[in-house]
Structure 1
């Protein structure tokens, strides 16, 4: 099985990294183009630094991305970072001291907050934002796959 990606796991032609995969916006502003070159029209501009994005294709120095709402297009790779972030998908999502529903609540995050992604178990992820860090249920986040495990 060496050299073969997991069943159903596509690899990018440029980077040989898994597709789709999550990244974040490195820049505070980034043009989203209709195609993978500077000659393609700008459809809109992402204006949120650290926003999680999903890469769905690669072409040269360009990555086709989509956001939480499915909006996307082609972005130059220099505008993207491998640093992982997630979007909070539930208003007033409670942050726990440990990965357990019974653990002490340390904070609550509003819907749409961007948080840095740390380690993830089968059901929980450690995140940090606004000086707070702790554990939240993985299914309440956008920017991490259900099967993803992180140390």
Structure 2
């Protein structure tokens, strides 16, 4: 009975990974994704036999997908490093990382005159719920508000989505 349950769970996990891969195959590169796992290895080529270059230990880190090969994606990280990662370690959940500069104001509303709710330091990563080409609605843990889009790695300039 336990083996049957494990087999069904394994099949479901493989089907889920296949769905992620097929959904990502439909997108035109480049596009944005994020690391879905707490540990994700970047490799020098598209396969497990290629040597590891970096071990990422930051779930939700935004990455740019620049090339596809089978179930592997060539990614670019916020520092500009490129390498290959298994599609099973990536998700299409949109995230953003605060770039260099002064702390980024997280405001109550999209208006630049609205009250500042929080100030985000360089390197803070959060989930992006929407962007309008100027500002993005971002969630960092329980904190939520609007930030300048131009200060985020993980979203294109003038990009809009909900």
Structure 2 length as normaliser, TM-score? 0.81
| Equivalence for 2:127 | 116
Aligned mates of 1:130, 1:40 — CA distance in 2: 35
Unpaired segments ≥5 residues, structure 1: 1-13
2:84 equivalent among 74, 84, 90:
74
Report the structure number with the largest CA radius of gyration: 2
Kindly state the Cα deviation for residue 141 of structure 1 after the two structures are TM-superposed. 0.6
Runs of at least 4 residues of structure 1 off by over 2 A? none
Kindly state the Cα deviation for residue 64 of structure 1 after the two structures are TM-superposed. 0.3
| Equivalence for 1:135 | 146
Q: CA RMSD in A?
A: 1.5
Aligned mates of 1:41, 1:136 — CA distance in 2: 38
Q: Given the alignment of the two structures, is residue 97 of structure 1 paired with residue 108 of structure 2, yes or no?
A: yes
Kindly state the Cα deviation for residue 123 of structure 1 after the two structures are TM-superposed. 0.7
Structure with the higher helix share, 1 or 2: 2
Kindly state the Cα deviation for residue 101 of structure 1 after the two structures are TM-superposed. 1.5
Structure 1 length as normaliser, TM-score? 0.87
For residues 1-150 of structure 1, what are the structure 2 equivalents within 5 Å?
Answer: 15-89=25-99, 90-150=101-161
Unpaired segments ≥5 residues, structure 2: 1-23
